[in-house]
Amino acid sequence: MRIYFIFRRLLLLFPIIFGVLVITFIIGRVIPADPIHLFVGQEDDPAFIQSLREELGLDEPIWTQFYCYLKSFLKGDLGMCWSTRNPVTTDLGVRLPATFELIIVSLIVCVVLALPLGVLAAVKRDSISDHVSRVVSLAGVAIPGFWLGLLLIYLLFFKLHWAPPPIGRIGFRTPIDSVTGFYLIDTLLARNLRAFGEVWAYLALPVAALSLRKLAQLTRLVRSTMIEVLSSDYIQTAHSQGLKWRLINYRLALKNALLPPITQIGQMFGDLIGGAVIIELVFAWPGAGRWAVTSALAGDFAPIQAFAVICAVARVFSFLIADILYTIIDPRIRY
């Protein structure tokens, strides 16, 4: 039963990726006056440009172009990144794990902190701590992520020397045997606990800068859903049965309050990708976001396109996981 549902959802991937390709195609080839400059980067040899023009078929009618575009995509050819002189797929393979590690850790931090904070704010409603959390939530949403990152660097690295310098994922002198690309896993696999700790130290500031905004939003949502749930009849029944506070709030009420937050968590992945792009710049994080941006600045379009497709796919999966979690939590929902 559930397998069919998952399967149907995965089928959605096709039209969405198609849509993404259409859009990047329009942006990349239809909108600009002379699209060639988006694909040559810094090259200016006219012969080379001309041969590239032919190769990409930029003189052909739009429909043919799109057809070739699709064909090469399906073959797995995502183009070349001129700044690194590598095929896009190679560059992505190296950089994507860095970005995903950052995003996944941030996601976990957000969820793990937002749930208890939101519950507490709801239970201690209208108290001082509730008002404080409200102000913090509102502020958290308004702070620009890159500014926060810089502030954190200034305070915690420059002034207090607690955090490592913003030079990337790990110090220069620590060698890492990269098996999966996820340093947290790799250091554990190599049983190198010192390096493991160091990876965390380097992760701390970027994760903090990235997750604050989403943490604020999620806490707010958990709080308001909890407040609604706490005034419901079945919670009154639980109180009348003399059940313990912890049981009522953290199990009986919270489970009912989880549905809207889960929706938001599903969306969060996509939002975090956007935030990660900027945070990677601030912290010199060698991830796909930074790569896409620097390529864009160099006039290189293929990386952005590839990154966009990856993001779209990741999004579909995160929504899917959220929906699956729904069915686990709420027995009334059946697809």
Ranges within 225-284 binding another protein (CB under 8 A): 232-234, 236-244, 247, 252, 255-256, 270-271, 273-275, 277-278, 281-282
Query: What stretches of the chain adopt beta strand conformation (E)?
Result: 80-81, 86-87
- Say if CB 9 and CB 49 are below 8 A apart: no
Q: Name the residue with tokens 């941030």.
A: 106
Rounded to a whole number of angstroms, the distance between the first and last alpha carbons of the chain is 8
What gap in Å lies between CA 197 and CA 173, rounded to an integer? 14
Rounded to whole angstroms, how far apart are CA atoms 49 and 99? 33
Q: Give the dihedral of Cα atoms 217, 221, 224, 230; nearest 10 deg.
A: -140
Phi, psi dihedrals of residue 38, rounded to the nearest 5°: -80, -10
| Residues within window 111-170 making contact with another protein, judged by CB under 8 A | 138-139, 141-147, 150-151, 153-154, 157-158, 165-166
| Residues from 69 through 108 that contact another protein (CB under 8 A) | none
By C-beta, is 109 or 282 nearer to another protein? Answer: 282
Residue 190 or 284: which CB sits closer to another protein? 284
Q: What's the one-letter identity of residue 239?
A: H
Do residues 101 and 183 lie in contact, with contact meaning Cβ atoms separated by under 8 Å? yes
Minimum Å distance from CB 144 to another protein?
Answer: 5
Site for another protein (CB under 8 A): how many residues?
Answer: 73
Binding mask 25-64 toward another protein (x if CB under 8 A, else -) reads --xx--xx-----x--------------------------
Whole-angstrom Cα distance, residue 249 to residue 185? 35
Does residue number 308 form part of the binding site for another protein (CB under 8 A)?
yes
**Residue number, 99 or 187, with CB nearest to another protein:** 99
Nearer to another protein, 16 or 176 (CB): 16
> Contacts with another protein in 7-26 (CB under 8 A)?
15-16, 18-20, 22-24
153 Cβ neighbours under 8 A, 6+ residues apart: 163, 166, 205, 282, 283
Quick one: 118 or 149, whose CB is closer to another protein? Answer: 149
Indicate the residue among 10 and 247 with the shorter CB distance to another protein: 247
99 Cβ contact list (under 8 Å, min separation 6): 273, 276, 280, 285, 287, 288, 289
Q: Residue 113 Cβ, how far from another protein at the closest point, in Å?
A: 21
Question: By CB under 8 A, which span of 42-50, 104-112, 173-181, 327-335 interacts with another protein?
Answer: 327-335
Residue 193 binds another protein, judged by CB under 8 A: no
Lookup: tokens for 85: 């002189």
Of 155 and 193, CB closest to another protein: 155
Interface with another protein includes 176 (CB under 8 A)?
Answer: no
